[in-house]
Amino acid sequence: MEAKKKDIRALTKEQLRDFFVSQGDKAFRGNQVYEWLWQKSAHSFEGMTNLSKATRDMLEANFVINHIKVDQMQRSNDGTIKNAVRLHDNLVVESVLIPTSSRTTACVSSQVGCSLDCRFCATARLKRMRNLNPDEIYDQVVAIDNESRLYFDRPLSNIVFMGMGEPLMNYNNVLKAIDKITSTEGLAMSPKRITVSTSGVPKMIKKMADDGVRFKLAVSLHSAIDEIRTRIMPFNATFTLADLREALEYWYAKTRSRITYEYVVWRGINDTQKDVDALVDFCRFAPSKVNLIEYNPIDDGEFQQASNSAIDMYVNTLERNGITVTVRRSRGKDIDAACGQLANKQ
Ligand code: SAH
């Protein structure tokens, strides 16, 4: 039986160079192929026109290029685009293009499903099926960059890891993808325009700080009171607020990069003065700002968006305490593309 062909995009540039040397060719050939794979997003060896036919055939015999395929594209009436992305093994993830007047933001997935169990999130119900490979993350970004150029006449400007999955549970691959995205051999995007959003894995937040990453950090906080946070995000029983806080202090000390807290206010869950006071206290540990996100209902109504007066109380209290707060309206709700709604409904 024919040996299973390797995924060529799992190789580093060095490994590609070594491969060509092992074939009696020049190392430089590895650079050429690398450029085809990453900068030019080639989908086939045949299209690598500066290689000889013999070289292309040799690559074909040894490797595959596993590209994602945008199976289905839905456009919201607010301009948001949702891609259903089919992977080489037929699993599907979703990614979203969010346009504003001046920016295009890509919201990308890091896992198929999710290993965490946030009670208000549709993706949590899918369970984690597998981690995405670096190239599968990178390809989602390239697809959205292309769509941005096509439909909005401008390149992609920002990336948020707020699609399916917990990026810090797939840290190595997320980091490799970001390396490609920011490299001049990839998309040459500034890391300042990339935000990794985590539900808060303390050990990994510290590791990121140690690794000297330069992208931004957002934490899905939703409550600064352990008992309540554990009720809505059960993994908080293991990764407690005290541990999270310590990790965030460590992060700020090392990176000097302000943290964004994402926060949904729900009726009867975290909509009292006591809740906002706890948030204010939490915000004092490291320079931070708060993004109040609108709740996107996923089902039966256990969770409901809080009243406008509760939101006003949050905004007023935070502002009075000198904490920057923004209230973010949802985008793409009509096509289930908003935060927490990604669940491969099709
Ligand atoms: N696992 C990462 C990234 C994915 S979730 C994280 O937890 O940060 C992206 C954001 O959407 C998170 O802030 C998450 O808490 C929020 N979210 C999840 N379900 C939601 C819902 N139904 N409505 C609004 N926001 C939701």
C-alpha distances in Å from residue 255, one per residue of 101, 216, 295, 324, 342: 31, 10, 31, 20, 31
pLDDT tens-digit profile of 109-120?
999 999 899 999
Instruction: Provide the pLDDT for residue 109.
Output: 97
Q: How confident is the model at residue 344 (pLDDT cuts 50, 70, 90)?
A: low
Q: Give the residue, by CA position, lying nearest to ligand 1 atom 9.
A: 162
pLDDT tens-digit profile of 53-84?
999 999 999 999 988 999 888 999 889 999 99
pLDDT tens-digit profile of 247-285?
999 999 999 999 999 999 999 999 999 999 999 999 999
Q: How confident is the model at residue 1 (pLDDT cuts 50, 70, 90)?
A: very low
Q: How confident is the model at residue 346 (pLDDT cuts 50, 70, 90)?
A: low
Helix (H) or strand (E) run with residue 198 in it: strand 194-198
Going from N- to C-terminal start, the domains of the chain cover 6-64, 69-335
d(CA 340, CA 331): 12
Does domain 6-64 correspond to CATH entry 1.10.150.530? yes
Q: Which long-range contacts (CB under 8 A, 24 or more apart) does 321-328 make?
A: 321/280, 321/283, 323/280, 323/283, 323/288, 323/289, 323/290, 324/289, 324/290, 325/289, 325/290, 325/291, 325/292, 326/289, 326/290, 326/291, 326/292, 327/292, 327/294, 328/291, 328/292, 328/293, 328/294
Average pLDDT rounded to a whole number, residues 166-189: 95
d(CA 65, CA 299): 39
Longest dimension (CA), the chain: 72
Tell me which of 66-80, 215-229, 307-321 is least confident: 66-80
Q: Give the residue, by CA position, lying nearest to ligand 1 atom 5.
A: 162
Structure tokens at 161: 């890891």
DSSP 129-147: -EEPPHHHHHHHHHHHHHH
Q: Give the residue, by CA position, lying nearest to ligand 1 atom 20.
A: 340
Does position 300 have pLDDT exceeding 90, yes or no? Answer: no
Q: How confident is the model at residue 330 (pLDDT cuts 50, 70, 90)?
A: confident
Q: Which entry of 114, 118, 121, 339 is annotated as an active-site residue?
A: 339
Q: Give the residue, by CA position, lying nearest to ligand 1 atom 18.
A: 340
Supply φ then ψ for residue 196, to 5 degrees.
Answer: -100, 125
Determine whether the shortest distance from the Cβ of 138 to ligand 1 is under 6 A.
Answer: no
Determine whether the shortest distance from the Cβ of 296 to ligand 1 is under 6 A.
Answer: yes
* Amino acid occupying residue 198: T
The class level of CATH for 69-335 reads alpha beta
Determine whether the shortest distance from the Cβ of 198 to ligand 1 is under 6 A.
Answer: yes
- Whole-number Å distance, alpha carbon 222 to ligand 1 midpoint, is 9
- Which is it for strands 111-112 and 92-99: parallel, antiparallel or unpaired? unpaired
Cβ-count burial of 285 within 10 angstroms (0-12 exposed, 13-18 middle, 19+ buried)?
A: middle
Average pLDDT rounded to a whole number, residues 146-163: 96
Helices and strands in the chain: count of H runs, count of E runs: 10, 14
In percent, how much of the chain has pLDDT > 70? 97
Determine whether the shortest distance from the Cβ of 293 to ligand 1 is under 6 A.
Answer: yes
Give catalytic status of residue 319 as yes or no. no
Pocket test for ligand 1, best of 111, 160, 197 (most atoms within 8 A of CB): 197
Structure-token match 């984690």, residue found: 128
Distance of CA 333 to the CA centre of its chain: 19
Instruction: Provide the pLDDT for residue 329.
Output: 77
Query: Which DSSP symbol is given to 321?
Result: T
Instruction: Provide the pLDDT for residue 328.
Output: 83
In percent, how much of the chain has pLDDT > 90? 83
Same topology between domain 6-64 and domain 69-335:
no
- Whole-number Å distance, alpha carbon 298 to ligand 1 midpoint, is 12
Instruction: Provide the pLDDT for residue 229.
Output: 98
Instruction: Provide the pLDDT for residue 337.
Output: 75
Give catalytic status of residue 107 as yes or no. no
| C-alpha torsion angle, residues 91, 113, 344, 9 (rounded to 10) | -40
Pocket test for ligand 1, best of 93, 111, 115, 264 (most atoms within 8 A of CB): 264
| pTM, two decimal places | 0.92
Determine whether the shortest distance from the Cβ of 164 to ligand 1 is under 6 A.
Answer: no
